[in-house]
Amino acid sequence: MKKHRTVFAGAVAAVTLFAAPATAQTVPPPAISVTGEANVSVPPDLALVDGGVTSEAKTAREASDANNTAMGKVLQALKAAGIDQKDVQTSRLSLQPQSAPNRTGPSAITGYRASNRVTIRVRDVSKVANVIDTLVAAGANEIGGINFMVSQASKLLDEARDKAVADARRKAEIYAKAAGVALGAPLSISEEGNAPPMPYRKMSAGMVASAPVAQGEETLSVTVSVSWAIKPKE
C-alpha cells in the first residue's frame, strides 16, 4: 500500500512540473498603460443646409399638389443659383392628416399637411448665407439647420494620431522615471472612437433671411490607448 502511494505522489509531482511552464506563459509582461490625446482645429470646407416646404390644405390632394408646386419653385431657384443637382437630396417627404381636439369622441380630420425637405451640400462655405436666402426667397418655410463639416477629416486626423501617440509616450516616460524603470517597445496601440463634431444649428425661416452665418472652426480629436513594455534601467 505504501508503494502505491509513493508511485501516485511521483505522478502528481511530474504533472505539476510539466504544468508549471504553461502557467508561467500566461503571465502578462510588465507594462505601463496610458492614453494619449491630441486635437487639430481647422476651418470647415463643407456645409449641409436642411430646408424645404410645408403646405396645408383641406384635402390630401390639395396639400400634395400645393407642396409639389412650391417645392418645384425651390428646386428651380437652387438650380438657377448654381447648385448642382447631385448636391440636392430629398431628406424627408410626408403627408399627414390634421385633427381637431375632441374630448367626447374620435378627433375629426380637419385637413392635411404635406412636407418636402431637402439637404443641400454647399461646397463653398462662404455661400451658405446666399443658399439660405435663395431658399427663403423661393418660398421655403422650413430651414432645419446648418451642419458644418471637414471633407478631408481622415487625412487631418492622421496628424492628430501622430501627436496622440507622442503624448502617450510622454506620459509613459514620466511614469517609468517615477517607478525607476526604463520604457521599452509598445505592446499594443488602440484608437478610441472619436467622431468629428457635427454641430447642428436650427433656425426658423423668419430669422434666416440675410442672416450672417459664422463658420468658425471644427476640432478633430483623437484618443489612443498604448501599453508600453518596461525593463530595468541599465
In a domain, 10, yes or no: no
Q: Are residues 112 and 228 in the same domain?
A: no
CATH of the domain at 110: 3.30.70.2970
Specify whether the CB–CB gap between 50 and 119 falls below 8 A.
Answer: yes
> What is the domain extent for residue 221?
27-45+152-197+214-234
Q: What is the pLDDT of residue 212?
A: 61
Q: Give backbone dihedrals phi and psi of 116, rounded to 5 degrees, phi first.
A: -135, 115
Q: Are residues 38 and 59 in the same domain?
A: no
In a domain, 21, yes or no: no
Global model pTM greater than 0.75: no
In a domain, 1, yes or no: no
Q: Is 99 helix (H, G, I), strand (E, B) or coil?
A: strand
Q: What is the rounded CA–CA span in Å between residue 52 and residue 142? A: 5
Helices (H) and strands (E) in the chain, counts: 5, 7
Q: What is the pLDDT of residue 19?
A: 45
Please state the rounded mean pLDDT for residues 138-160. Answer: 88
Name residue 47's beta-bridge partners.
122, 148
Q: What is the rounded CA–CA span in Å between residue 140 and residue 70? A: 8
Q: Are residues 130 and 219 in the same domain?
A: no
In a domain, 19, yes or no: no
In a domain, 5, yes or no: no
| Bridge pairing between strands 218-232 and 181-192 | antiparallel
Q: Are residues 126 and 64 in the same domain?
A: yes
Specify whether the CB–CB gap between 210 and 138 falls below 8 A.
Answer: no
CATH of the domain at 225: 3.30.110.170
What DSSP element (H or E) covers 177?
helix 153-179
For residue range 169-189, what is the model confidence (pLDDT) as tens digits?
999 999 999 999 999 999 999
What DSSP element (H or E) covers 121?
strand 109-122
In a domain, 20, yes or no: no
Q: What is the pLDDT of residue 154?
A: 83
Q: Are residues 176 and 140 in the same domain?
A: no
Domain count, the chain: 2
Burial profile 195-213: b = 16 or more Cβ within 10 angstroms, e = fewer: ebeeeeeebebeebeeeeb
Q: Are residues 161 and 186 in the same domain?
A: yes
- When pLDDT is cut at 50, 70 and 90, the band that residue 197 belongs to is very low
Q: Are residues 144 and 174 in the same domain?
A: no
Q: Are residues 163 and 221 in the same domain?
A: yes
Q: What is the pLDDT of residue 193?
A: 67
- When pLDDT is cut at 50, 70 and 90, the band that residue 145 belongs to is confident
Please state the rounded mean pLDDT for residues 210-228. Answer: 81
Q: What is the pLDDT of residue 60?
A: 95
In a domain, 81, yes or no: yes
Please state the rounded mean pLDDT for residues 160-177. Answer: 95
